[in-house]
Amino acid sequence: MSMIENRTFDELRIGDTASITRTLTFKDIELFAVMSGDINPAHVDPEFAKSDMFHRVVAHGMWGGALISTVLGTKLPGPGTIYLAQTLYFRKPVILDDTVSVIVKVAQKSDHDHRVSLECTALNQRGEVVIEGVADVIAPVEKVARERVILPAVSLDTEGHHVRE
């Protein structure tokens, strides 16, 4: 079983980076819509999406935001990180089959309260910036190493259900 481990506040250096890469599928969009309740037809209805400004289905913006959270909580600083704030600027849409690489970079550290600001950038497979912003966290002061949790398999019922208001 693989492990996830943090970097403590004292181990972090300005310029340190970590990243993950994911490819967006329609199942990702459906699962995010089910989990969040965001059924904006721009995300879940291909026929509607043809008529909107992007002319195709696009990812929920917060799908990319969730990927940033993944890097912060599993890589840099890692387990034990407390997420305080996030700015996000959506520069380009993420579309089906885009491969998105999220990179976080330590930009500032505050010794008295263990706060860290990290520049966050998401790039598509063409190297275009799709999301950028800054995350503010409290970095752990003690080492945390945990076995990676195995998540349950998820399947979506094709019959679906209407979201209740």
* Gap between the Cα atoms of 139 and 152, Å rounded: 28
- In the chain, domain spans: 3-143
pLDDT tens digit sequence for 67-107: 999 999 999 999 999 999 999 999 999 999 999 999 999 99
Q: Pull the structure tokens for residue 100.
A: 């998105």
* Gap between the Cα atoms of 58 and 37, Å rounded: 16
Its CATH class, for the domain covering 3-143, is alpha beta
Q: Please state the separation of Cα 18 from the chain's center in Å.
A: 13
pLDDT tens digit sequence for 10-54: 999 999 999 999 999 999 999 999 999 998 888 888 888 888 888
pTM score of the predicted model: 0.91
